[in-house]
């Protein structure tokens, strides 16, 4: 099967990553709990005027890579992807990133030896045909459910998303592995 897998919030921990970078850059003591983190309020948690300012900072500079370069994978994420690829499933990475994040994202995938031959940088993830999707975005999941009704759409359960009719809740990588094994 073709498995369409999101990155940030699914394979790697974007929130812990940007908070660690913010501590390094500003000496902050960010300890926001996940329930405070929303798609459009990151700037309020760390003192930027707006989300545009947050993303300008996240982009990095000549002195440091973007926040996407050194994110930590969630426990079991990469190992599960390797197991699924070893079982002859195609791992298709589908991630929504700004253009400036593409090189650091590709380096991250290579550094972690994510077993994929197919990577898409898209905001409309439903344009990539897969049998199973795994995502955490409260914006993307409804689109996948409506535009890919024959696919199994899995919601990686996170504090910033809620159950969705038509999506299967997955509370971690072992659950996703079991779900794919049962299809």
DSSP string, 20-59: HHHHHHH-------GGG--TT-HHHHHT-SSHHHHHHHHT
**Are residues 117 and 170 located together in one domain of the fold?**
yes
Question: Domain for residue 48, yes or no?
Answer: yes
pLDDT the model gives residue 81: 98
Q: What is the mean pLDDT of each run of 10 residues along the chain (183 residues)?
A: 97 90 83 56 77 90 91 97 98 96 96 98 97 96 98 94 97 98 96
Query: 0.85 cut: is pTM over it?
Result: yes
User: Of all helices (H) and strands (E), which one includes residue 2?
Assistant: strand 2-5
Residue (of 96, 93, 77) closest to 39 by Cα position: 96
Sign of CA dihedral 77, 16, 159, 138: negative
Domain count, the chain: 2
Token representation of residue 7: 């990155």
**Are residues 52 and 100 located together in one domain of the fold?**
no
Which residue range(s) make up the domain with 146? 2-13+72-182
pLDDT the model gives residue 37: 61
**Are residues 9 and 24 located together in one domain of the fold?**
no
pLDDT the model gives residue 141: 97
**Are residues 35 and 79 located together in one domain of the fold?**
no
pLDDT the model gives residue 36: 58
């Amino acid at each position: 099967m073709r498995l369409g897998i999101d990155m940030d919030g699914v394979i790697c921990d974007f929130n812990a990553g940007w908070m660690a970078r913010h501590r390094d850059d500003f000496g902050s003591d960010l300890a926001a709990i996940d329930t405070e983190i929303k798609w459009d309020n990151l700037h309020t948690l760390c003192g930027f005027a707006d989300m545009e300012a947050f993303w300008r900072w996240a982009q990095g500079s000549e002195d440091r890579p973007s926040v996407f370069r050194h994110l930590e994978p969630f426990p079991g994420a990469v190992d599960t992807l390797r197991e699924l690829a070893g079982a002859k499933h195609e791992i298709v990475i589908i991630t929504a990133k700004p253009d400036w994040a593409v090189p650091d994202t590709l380096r991250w995938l290579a550094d972690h030896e994510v077993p994929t031959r197919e990577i898409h940088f898209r905001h409309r993830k439903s344009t990539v045909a897969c049998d199973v999707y795994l995502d955490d975005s409260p914006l993307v999941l409804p689109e996948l459910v409506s535009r890919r009704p024959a696919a199994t759409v899995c919601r990686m359960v996170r504090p910033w998303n809620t159950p969705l009719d038509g999506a299967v809740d997955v509370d971690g990588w072992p659950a996703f592995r079991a779900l794919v094994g049962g299809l």
